[in-house]
């Protein structure tokens, strides 16, 4: 599981580096609660070694919810049935095995 998390973090870092138009300054990550913030930062430090993201500041934000509606506006919400309270469409649930995700990158 730890290896999988490290692999996932490597993929996230590759994505962050690809998204950064210019020099990567900060990486914002979402945590879905199944993992401690410290652990996410440790994974980031380990997975970013020898990449352009090495030494870049990582910020971990608690996601708060596993549901995201892509139909209306990317609204995140808590729900039993996954129906978006805003537009009534069934939203996507972040899979159980996803503990963290890339949120956004800052570059200059
Ligand atoms: Zn919606």
Identify the band that residue 3 occupies on the pLDDT scale cut at 50, 70 and 90. Answer: low
CB atoms inside a 10 Å sphere around CB 58: 20
Mean pLDDT of 68-88: 86
* Three-state secondary structure of 32-49: CCCCCHHHHHHHHHHHCC
Which structural domains are found in the chain, ordered by start? 2-107 (3.30.2320.50)
- pLDDT tens digit string along 39-76? 999 999 999 999 999 999 999 998 877 888 988 888 88
* pTM score: 0.79
What distance in angstroms lies between residue 73's CA and the mean position of ligand 1's atoms? Answer: 6
Q: In a 10 Å sphere around its CB, with 0-12 CB exposed, 13-18 middle and 19+ buried, how is residue 82 labelled?
A: middle
What the block records as the tokens of 92 is: 């996507």
Residues with CB under 5 A from ligand 1 (ion): 69, 71-72, 84, 86-87
CA atoms within 13 A on the CB side of 98: 16
Identify the band that residue 2 occupies on the pLDDT scale cut at 50, 70 and 90. Answer: low
pLDDT score at 78: 80
């Amino acid at each position: 599981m730890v290896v999988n998390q490290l692999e996932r973090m490597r993929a996230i870092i590759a994505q962050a580096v690809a998204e950064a138009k210019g020099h990567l300054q900060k990486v914002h990550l979402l945590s879905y609660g199944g993992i401690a913030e410290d652990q996410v930062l440790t994974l980031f430090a380990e997975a970013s070694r020898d990449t352009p993201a090495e030494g870049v500041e990582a910020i971990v934000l608690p996601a708060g919810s596993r549901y995201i509606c892509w139909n209306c506006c990317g609204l995140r919400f808590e729900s039993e049935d996954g129906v978006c309270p805003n537009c009534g469409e069934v939203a996507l649930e972040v899979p159980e095995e996803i503990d963290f995700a890339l949120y956004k990158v800052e570059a200059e």
